[in-house]
Amino acid sequence: MAPPAIIAPSILSADFAALGDACSRTIHQGADWLHIDIMDGHFVPNMTFGAPVVTTIRKHVDRPQTAGGKGTFDCHMMISEPKKWVTSFKGAGCECYTFHYEAAVSSTAATRPQDETSERTNPKDMIRYIHEVGMKAGIAIKPGTPVDVLYDVLDSRSENEVPDMVLVMTVEPGFGGQSFMAEMMPKVQELRKRYPDLNIEVDGGLSEKTVDQAAEAGANVIVAGSAVFGASDPGAVIQRLRDAVERRR
Ligand SMILES: O=C(CO)[C@H](O)[C@H](O)COP(=O)(O)O
């Protein structure tokens, strides 16, 4: 059986002027996690905010009582230098740090071989480092990246190098409110077939109209921004997203 449904509203679509209230309300409306999109204007063509803002919203949301429990801050790092911010985000109150495979691989290309931090910027070393710092580690792939690049980490014999979650992007990262790319579903199906216990997250264009396809393919962690924050009854939307996943477990 696939892992339980986890509904993670993306606060990218929340009112940034009232983020603390928006986050606390969303958790009370039934969200499991908060999906926090960090964009650097370089890895993606948009910018959001950094660790100081995460520190302030953490004050409005109780920390999870168990690993991966309600209130988990699921930080999606759409940034070119993911290693640089691991300790800051841990300090800010992030529990799950998801970096992009593409960013880790391009740092490993050793553009700065003498940089003493470069030895940690391949995917396995990044995952180990995030674990050592004390967070769950997620690894994300953009729509153009094939899923099989992840098998090396997912099949690692060292538990510390295995990600706790894979994020399959269902839009090009950078902006909320885009259309769901159903053509990403074979990646999810393949992952679910190979890794029955893995947390598989989908992000981009998820709504009551598209969640069935994601759930059918095997996704259990559903990120939804505009569908939740744009709804007149966000709690009902969260419940329907959850039901769609639970029906297929
Ligand atoms: O990572 C993201 C964009 O890069 C967002 O999390 C995502 O797009 C969610 O927004 P929506 O549900 O409105 O598509």
Instruction: Indicate the burial class of 176 (C-beta count within 10 angstroms; 0-12, 13-18, 19 or more).
Output: buried
Measured distance CA(208)–CA(127) in Å, rounded:
32
- pLDDT higher than 60, residue 45: yes
For ligand 1, what atom is nearest to the CA of residue 175?
3
pLDDT tens digits, one per residue of 72-99: 999 999 999 999 999 999 999 999 999 9
Supply the angle between the helices 51-58 and 19-28 in degrees, to the nearest 10: 50
C-beta 205 within 6 A of ligand 1? yes
- Rounded to the nearest angstrom, the distance between the alpha carbon of 203 and the centre of ligand 1 is 6
CB 143 near ligand 1, within 6 Å: no
Q: Is 33 helix (H, G, I), strand (E, B) or coil?
A: strand
Distance CA 231, CA 213 (A): 21
Helical spans, DSSP H, in the chain? 19-28, 51-58, 86-92, 101-108, 123-133, 151-154, 185-194, 211-217, 226-229, 234-246
Q: Is 243 a catalytic residue?
A: no
| pLDDT (0 to 100) of residue 197 | 97
Catalytic position from the list 32, 40, 164, 203:
203
Q: Is residue 142 predicted with pLDDT exceeding 80?
A: yes
Q: What is the pLDDT of residue 111?
A: 45
Ligand 1 pocket, 12 CB below 6 A? yes
Q: Does the Cβ of 221 fall within 6 Å of ligand 1?
A: no
pLDDT at 110 over 80: no
pTM over 0.90: yes
User: Which residue in the list 32, 37, 40, 74 is annotated as catalytic?
Assistant: 37
DSSP class of 99: E
Question: What is the model's pLDDT at position 216?
Answer: 97
- 111 C-alpha to ligand 1 centroid (Å): 30
Q: State the distance from the centre of ligand 1 to the C-alpha of 7, rounded, in angstroms.
A: 13
- pLDDT higher than 70, residue 114: no
Residue 37 a catalytic site member:
yes
Give the pLDDT score at 207.
Answer: 98
Task: Please name the residue that has the structure tokens 């839009």.
Answer: 171
What's the pLDDT score for residue 209? 98
